Amino acid sequence: MKFPKIYTLKDIAQLIDSEFVGDENFPVYGMNEIHVVEKGDIVFVDHPKYYDKALNSDASVVLINKKVACPEGKTLLISDDPFRDFSKLATYFNPFNKADKSISESAEIGEGTIIQPNVFLGNNVTIGKNCLIHPNVVIYDGCTIGNNVTIHAGTTLGSDAFYYKNRETGFDKLISCGSIIIEDNVDIGAACTIDRGVTGNTLIKEGTKIDNQVQIGHDTIIGKKCLIASQVGIAGCTVLEDEVTLWGQVGVISGVTIGRKAVVYAQSGVSNSLEGGQAYFGSPCDVARKKYRELAGIKVLPEIINKVNKI
Amino acid sequence: MKFPKIYTLKDIAQLIDSEFVGDENFPVYGMNEIHVVEKGDIVFVDHPKYYDKALNSDASVVLINKKVACPEGKTLLISDDPFRDFSKLATYFNPFNKADKSISESAEIGEGTIIQPNVFLGNNVTIGKNCLIHPNVVIYDGCTIGNNVTIHAGTTLGSDAFYYKNRETGFDKLISCGSIIIEDNVDIGAACTIDRGVTGNTLIKEGTKIDNQVQIGHDTIIGKKCLIASQVGIAGCTVLEDEVTLWGQVGVISGVTIGRKAVVYAQSGVSNSLEGGQAYFGSPCDVARKKYRELAGIKVLPEIINKVNKI
Amino acid sequence: MKFPKIYTLKDIAQLIDSEFVGDENFPVYGMNEIHVVEKGDIVFVDHPKYYDKALNSDASVVLINKKVACPEGKTLLISDDPFRDFSKLATYFNPFNKADKSISESAEIGEGTIIQPNVFLGNNVTIGKNCLIHPNVVIYDGCTIGNNVTIHAGTTLGSDAFYYKNRETGFDKLISCGSIIIEDNVDIGAACTIDRGVTGNTLIKEGTKIDNQVQIGHDTIIGKKCLIASQVGIAGCTVLEDEVTLWGQVGVISGVTIGRKAVVYAQSGVSNSLEGGQAYFGSPCDVARKKYRELAGIKVLPEIINKVNKI
């Protein structure tokens, strides 16, 4: 997330009541998680295991829970609880605003777009031209929808990331301040749920078609012309390259990449990155050809066991 | 789908700007996909592999992309793109109408039926007597609901079929002009999604009970007194005969038939037609008795492998 | 369920037009299913196999289809159809009331709680302080929500239990008269469905976090600080002890208990009670360590079969 204007390091330190290391006028442009952080941004880190990764990232400001040596050209914010303070900043820059009505006045709706009854469009939602938004769709604040997009009834875009820190006192939520971008010519079925990015965007690229009851987690990127069948669940921070097909009830773990033109058969579970251009099956899945051989083996297993036991 | 009145072959040819073979006054009654086509209907075919099937079907008019010999008593519409032109006809005869309000004026609601708040009833929806439609249910245009039907909150009836043609330029959607029929004494849980037929009807027969978050695809027929547990997904064009039981999270592929009184255990995947009167398990599923023997075999597999490796 | 006031045995017998055995002034406090029944309550039983269990339960009134000997200190209601009459009482004491508007006048909403547009709150719903109820959430009559609870869009709380008696003439529904209690600091994702208890409560304890599209059945109890990922389905009458983690698309059968701090990996199926403190995988699931050994075995199975066939 980029801030609405440039802040100074001192401004930010005051917002979270923390010490800082570096020039107080050092410019801060935004805040982001480690995997999407850019120059000018704040990143946070609270585990020594990841200190180096954060300090060597593109981030210009590292919100950290130890006074370490500050890398050249960067600055530090020293906090006893970087997770808490990152959420505090997310809330400050992206406060929740109660809606006064179903269609926010700040929502922009393109020419030729039809909004059916009982739809909710939050603040600063942008919808392109010639879209069809069916009844009871909910689009949270700040989401961006392209042209020629159809969204079927009861679908939710922009709910919070499922992202918690396990503390003694209970789960502590990382406040989501990212958003969602749906590109042109995407169709989304009924009763789907797509979470916003934590600091970046969940992105559905051009021409992708999504069936009913599909779940897509925060910061996930779905390529162009993908086909996602009903009841598929895709966790957060996952990448589907272009023209991937996922059949019904497939599950995909967080953080993996599925290569271009891969096909994953129904009910499979994707627990590792997959090379493109191949078909996969099983939970956990493997190359379908191999998996079918294993399944054939399982069918004759009882008689093989008999045979072995007689030896 | 039947047309609101009888059209002539020439009328239809003009609508899609195509050549025709046959009497220009040949009467046309409707349009349907190959598996539900009836005498008097148009069917479309765009792959030589299926030409014979279409020409020998009950269709009276074949929308085809080659000037073949016209069978006796039938007519042809010659198009460079039958898929596109079939969708064009579907849109012409079943145009999308923006709703003015949540409950359409043309919706018919039977005596004793309760419609809770925030429900959407599209144009020409018919609901029988003594039904209970819970809040935020969405029923698209033209769906028909019988008597004593309960539909829980957030369920969507009548969303489009997930049916696309893969073109170089992107997926091209076959426009759905079919509908949904829900017979008497059916219960449907919360957050279910049932797609309309492409040209025919998705049909849920009398006395069937459906739990929450169930997905039923286009043109699927669910028999009488079936029991469908939560999070089941049934693809399009599938048939469940009477008194079939599907337990939680079962997935059923498109185009198969599950026989009367079959029981499919939780999380199973049905990838072939199943005979009635038996219990099934596994993904892909098999007769449960057989599958349990295989599972028992898998449990001892590590020691069997040890044994074999010592031989 | 407790009645709004104390009834006499005679009152109840008149409501269902049944004979009774015992003092006509015997006080009746409520009605409950066998697994949650308390002193003063009615329980029902219609199968000789369960007569003893019902007669020896904590129930003070047994609604039964045979004139058996009445245990000391208890009373009987003799009915030709206890299931029908139990439902009749449930309807009498908990009649369905059509809503006049989206937010019932009898709903109580605590200080600092935000209710977004298109939300439905039924009669006698209670919501605590500082909650955030996103658009299109539906909360049926009588549900109770604690403080600091977030519920994302399109979620339904309080739909009926999926509980039917299979009769010749069709499925007969047991009318749900129980409710739902959500404790403090619970987060519930988008498009979730949580059913009310049949006579008792479905209960989500403090600090539990639930992702999108999760289904939780009637009378299920989710412990404190559980983490339930997207598209999990939990059947009715199940118990999750505290700090249980269920990953995406897990299914849990009815009536089992998952022990404290158990972790169930994605797409697993829980068909038996599980001891706490361990990780589980597979459908049906087993201890993950064991299951991984089996999966490794399956991968080499084709070559093992070759080997055995050559012996």
Cβ contact, residue pair B215, A209, below 8 Å:
no
**Domains in chain B: ranges and CATH:** 2-93 (3.40.1390.10), 108-289 (2.160.10.10)
- Minimum distance, in Å, between the CA of residue A284 and any CA atom of chain C: 9
C-alpha to C-alpha distance for A141 and C153, rounded to whole angstroms: 13
Using CB atoms and an 8 Å cut-off, which of residues 159-188 of chain B contact chain A?
Answer: 159-160, 162, 164, 170-171, 173
Tokens coding C192: 């979730």
The stretch C234-238 carries a mean pLDDT of: 97
Report whether pLDDT(B310) > 90. no
Using CB atoms and an 8 Å cut-off, which of residues 43-102 of chain B contact chain A?
Answer: 96, 98-99, 101-102
- Cα nearest neighbour of C249 on chain B: B249
Determine the pLDDT at residue C221. Answer: 98
Q: Cβ(B84)–Cβ(B170) under 8 Å?
A: no
Question: At how many degrees (to 10) do helices A82-93 and A9-16 cross?
Answer: 110
Condensed to tens digits (0 to 9), the pLDDT of residues A171-193 reads 999 999 999 999 999 999 999 99
- Minimum distance, in Å, between the CA of residue A42 and any CA atom of chain B: 39
Burial of B56 from C-beta contacts in 10 A (0-12 / 13-18 / 19+)? exposed
Q: Considering chain C, what is the average pLDDT of its residues?
A: 96
Which site among B130, B136, B306 would you substitute to test the C interface, given the most C Cβ atoms closer than 10 Å to its Cβ? Answer: B136
B249 touches A at CB < 8 Å? yes
Determine the pLDDT at residue B147. Answer: 98
Determine the pLDDT at residue A69. Answer: 95
C146 touches A at CB < 8 Å? no
Task: Tally C-beta pairs within 8 A across B and C.
Answer: 137
Q: Cβ(B34)–Cβ(B24) under 8 Å?
A: no
For chain B, percent of residues with pLDDT exceeding 90: 97
C144 contact partners, CB below 8 Å, separation of at least 6: C125, C126, C179, C180, C181, C182
Tokens coding C157: 């709380």
Q: Which residue has the tokens 């900043």?
A: A89
ipTM: 0.96
Concatenate the DSSP letters of all residues of chain B into one string: -EEEEEEEHHHHHHHHT-EEES-TT-EEEEE--TTT--TTEEEEE-SHHHHHHHHTSS-SEEEESS-PPPPTT-EEEE-S-HHHHHHHHHHHHS-----SSSB-TT-EE-TT-EE-TT-EE-TT-EE-SS-EE-TT-EE-TT-EE-SS-EE-TT-EEEEPP--EEEETTEEEEPPP--EEEE-TT-EE-TT-EEEPPSSSEEEE-TT-EE-TT-EE-TT-EE-TT-EE-TT-EE-TT-EE-TT-EE-TT-EE-TT-EE-TT-EE-TT-EE-S-B-TT-EEETTTTEEHHHHHHHHHHHHHHHHHHHHHHH-
Determine the pLDDT at residue B26. Answer: 97
Determine the pLDDT at residue C58. Answer: 96
Across the interface, of C120, C191, C304, the residue whose CB is closest to B191 is C191
Beta bridge mates, A76: A21, A62
Determine the pLDDT at residue A8. Answer: 97
The stretch B74-100 carries a mean pLDDT of: 95
C-alpha to C-alpha distance for B12 and B41, rounded to whole angstroms: 12
Listed in sequence order, the DSSP H helices in chain A are: 9-16, 48-55, 82-93, 288-310
For chain A, how many residues are written?
Answer: 311
Q: Cβ(B127)–Cβ(B109) under 8 Å?
A: yes
The stretch A270-294 carries a mean pLDDT of: 97
- Minimum distance, in Å, between the CA of residue C255 and any CA atom of chain A: 25
- Cα nearest neighbour of C136 on chain B: B136
Beta bridge mates, B204: B182, B222
Determine the pLDDT at residue C207. Answer: 98
Report whether pLDDT(A311) > 90. no
C-alpha to C-alpha distance for A170 and A221, rounded to whole angstroms: 30
C-alpha to C-alpha distance for A136 and B140, rounded to whole angstroms: 12
Tokens coding C185: 């600091």
C-alpha to C-alpha distance for A225 and A245, rounded to whole angstroms: 9
A35 is catalytic: no
Condensed to tens digits (0 to 9), the pLDDT of residues A10-45 reads 999 999 999 999 999 999 999 999 999 999 999 999
C105 contact partners, CB below 8 Å, separation of at least 6: none
B215 touches C at CB < 8 Å? no
C-alpha to C-alpha distance for C210 and C222, rounded to whole angstroms: 10
Return the amino acid letter for C56.
Answer: N
pLDDT category of residue B309 using cuts at 50, 70 and 90: confident
Q: Cβ(A90)–Cβ(A199) under 8 Å?
A: yes
pLDDT category of residue C309 using cuts at 50, 70 and 90: confident
Report whether pLDDT(C310) > 90. no
pLDDT category of residue C259 using cuts at 50, 70 and 90: very high
Burial of A100 from C-beta contacts in 10 A (0-12 / 13-18 / 19+)? exposed
Partners of A170 on chain C (C-beta within 8 Å) are 185, 206-207, 225
Partners of C266 on chain A (C-beta within 8 Å) are 251, 253, 269, 271
Return the amino acid letter for B137.
Answer: V
Partners of B156 on chain A (C-beta within 8 Å) are 136, 152-154, 190-191, 212
pLDDT category of residue C16 using cuts at 50, 70 and 90: very high
Which of these ranges, B253-267, B296-310, C96-110, has the smallest mean pLDDT? B296-310
C-alpha to C-alpha distance for A134 and A124, rounded to whole angstroms: 19
Report whether pLDDT(B311) > 90. no
The stretch C262-288 carries a mean pLDDT of: 98
Across the interface, of C215, C253, C293, the residue whose CB is closest to B212 is C215
Partners of B191 on chain A (C-beta within 8 Å) are 154, 191, 213
- Nearest C-alpha neighbor of B85 from the set B34, B31, B48: B31
The stretch A229-233 carries a mean pLDDT of: 98
Cβ contact, residue pair B293, A283, below 8 Å:
no
Report whether pLDDT(A82) > 90. yes
For chain A, helix (H) and strand (E) counts, in that order, are: 4, 34
Q: In what order do the strands lie in the sheet with C41-45?
A: C2-8, C27-31, C41-45, C61-64, C75-78, C19-21
